[in-house]
Amino acid sequence: MRYPKIDKYLLSYKIAIDSNEKILFAQLAIKNRLFVPGWYLRKSLIDLMTSDNNTYYDIELCFYGNQPVGICIIDYELFKDLTMFYVKPNYRRNGIGTKLLQIAKNLNNDCRGADGASQAGLKFFEKTNLDVYSY
């Protein structure tokens, strides 16, 4: 698959800072399908929206203009520091995942990926020296 180059000046990264913003970011991620159906990321987004205590999550989004195109969520509830990523296919290979990871490591230096990730995800974890969680 060829990935188109994008205008990186239109990229912005935002971290949810309070409970309401975390819910809003999760809703935006669901609405814009920033997940692979059937994977744990979607469940975490739904849990974050419906939980009475969403302090178990950190969430950040990447926007291209006003459109959410990438997500990173750290789930502290079940997997202490499981870090999940998704970047829309047309925006991949533009450094978005790497930048989301840098921001995530500023939130939690112990973040880890999951060994159940896709082959591309595992390559990304290896490239960025992200520890992999075996579960």
Return the minimum-mean-pLDDT range out of 60-64, 80-84, 100-104.
80-84
For residue 69, tell me if it sits in a domain.
Answer: yes
- 34 pLDDT higher than 90: yes
Q: Buried b vs exposed e over 5-30: b needs ≥16 C-beta within 10 Å?
A: ebeeeebeeebbeeeeebbebbebbe
Q: CA 49 to CA 42: how far, in whole Å?
A: 11
Q: Is residue 14 part of a domain?
A: yes
Q: Could you give the CA distance from residue 10 to residue 7 in angstroms, rounded to a whole number?
A: 6
Q: What is the pLDDT of residues 37-61, one digit of tens each?
A: 888 889 889 988 887 776 778 899 9
Q: What is the pTM of this model?
A: 0.84
Quick check: is 98 in a domain? yes
Output the domain CATH number for residue 78: 3.40.630.30
Is 16 within 8 Å of 48 (Cβ atoms)?
Answer: no
Helix spans in 1-135 (H): 19-31, 40-50, 96-107, 119-127
Q: What's the pLDDT score for residue 85?
A: 85
Burial 71-84 (b: 16+ CB within 10 A, else e): bbbbbeeebebbbb
| Domain membership flag for residue 135 | no
User: Encoding tokens for residue 105?
Assistant: 């490591």
Q: Which domain holds residue 61?
A: 8-128
**For the chain, how many structural domains are there in total?**
1
Residue showing tokens 């989301």: 100
In a domain? residue 1 = no
